[in-house]
Amino acid sequence: MRLVASASRTLLLLAPSQRSVPAHFGQPQADPRRHKNLLDEMQMLRGRLYLEDGAIKPWQLSEGRHCLDIDQGSWHLLVLNQAGRVCGCMRYREYAAGTRF
């Protein structure tokens, strides 16, 4: 995890759960419980927004979370509000060279 703060928001880069973080990221923090909590909170936000938008149906949520297998192996850029709660997110999935679409 890596934090970048502004006056009202904090950006946090959440690495894939089973991935080593490159040395150029400085001093990453390893906290499996916080990683799980942040990922759960991100999935709750995504689930709520997708449901409100009509993009998914309630049966597609697991305990209010929109869970995808791809989440565990992806990087997530989280936006945290002043209370430290996830209020925005994006996912980046890295694929090997030559992977076909």
The length of the chain in residues reads 101
Please give the pLDDT value at position 65: 97
Q: In which residue ranges of the chain is pLDDT below 50?
A: none
Please give the pLDDT value at position 4: 58
What is the C-alpha to C-alpha distance for residues 22 and 3, in angstroms, rounded to an integer? 15
Mean pLDDT value across the chain: 88
